[in-house]
Amino acid sequence: MATKQMLMVVGAVLALALLVVAPRLVNTLREEGVDRSRIATPDNPVKSPSGELLLEVHEETPNGIRQWRFSISRLAGADRPVVVFISEEAFRARDQLFILWGDTDRVWVYSGDVGTFFWEMEMDGIWERRSFADTRSIPVPPLLTQLKPGYFDRVR
C-alpha cells in the first residue's frame, strides 16, 4: 500500500512540475523575442524572406517513428504553389528540431540528432544541401542563434 501511495505522490509532483515549468519555457522564448511563427512545422508553413517561396513540413511515421521532411514551393507567378523541391532526408521529430528560412532564401535545419544543414538554390534551379560543419563561412540565421544561444559560437 505504501508503494502505491508513493507512486501517486510522485505522479502528482511530476504533473505539478509540468504545469509550472512548461508555461515558463514558452514564456521564456516569448520574452527572449523568439518569433516561433517563423519556424516551419507541419501546422505552420512559412514564406521565404523574398516572398517567392513557401517552406512546408510534412510528418511521416515509418516504423512508428515520427519524422519530418520539408518541401519548397514557388509562389511567384503561379495560380497555386508549385513544388520545386522535396528533401530526401527526414529528421526525427523527437529530437530538438528547427526548420526555418535564413535571410537569403536558404532553408536551415538544426537537428539535435544529426547536426545543422542548409539548402540553397544553385544557378540551374537545383537545391543543394550543405553541412554547416563543412561550410562555416555562411552566416547562421539570427533566429537560429536565438533558438540555440551560444551553440554556433562553440562550433565555429
If residue 107 lies in a helix (H) or strand (E), which one and from where to where?
strand 107-111
Give the whole-number percent of the chain exceeding pLDDT 90: 59
Q: Extract the C-alpha cell encoding 115.
A: 547536426
Same domain, yes or no: 57 and 15 = no
b/e per residue 68-102 (b: at least 16 CB within 10 A): bbbbbbbeeeeeebeeebebeebbebeeebbbbbb
Amino acid (one-letter) located at 7: L
Same domain, yes or no: 4 and 45 = no
Same domain, yes or no: 19 and 42 = no
* CA distances from residue 4 to 10, 103, 117 in whole angstroms, order as listed: 10, 55, 48
Rounded distance between C-alpha atoms, residue 58 and residue 62, angstroms? 13
Same domain, yes or no: 14 and 87 = no
Number of domains in the chain: 2
Per-residue confidence band for 20, with pLDDT thresholds at 50, 70 and 90: very low
Give the closest residue to 118 by CA, choosing from 61, 37, 73, 55: 55
Same domain, yes or no: 25 and 40 = no
Range of the domain at 8: 1-31
Same domain, yes or no: 79 and 109 = yes
Same domain, yes or no: 45 and 27 = no
Query: What local confidence, expressed as pLDDT, does residue 9 receive?
Result: 58
Q: Extract the C-alpha cell encoding 98.
A: 528547427
Name every residue whose Cβ is closer than 8 Å to that of residue 61 and which is 6 or more positions away in sequence. 67
Same domain, yes or no: 89 and 42 = yes
In the predicted model, what is the mean pLDDT of residues 74-79? Answer: 81
Same domain, yes or no: 25 and 43 = no
Mind listing the pLDDT tens digit for each residue in 98-120?
A: 999 998 899 999 999 999 999 99
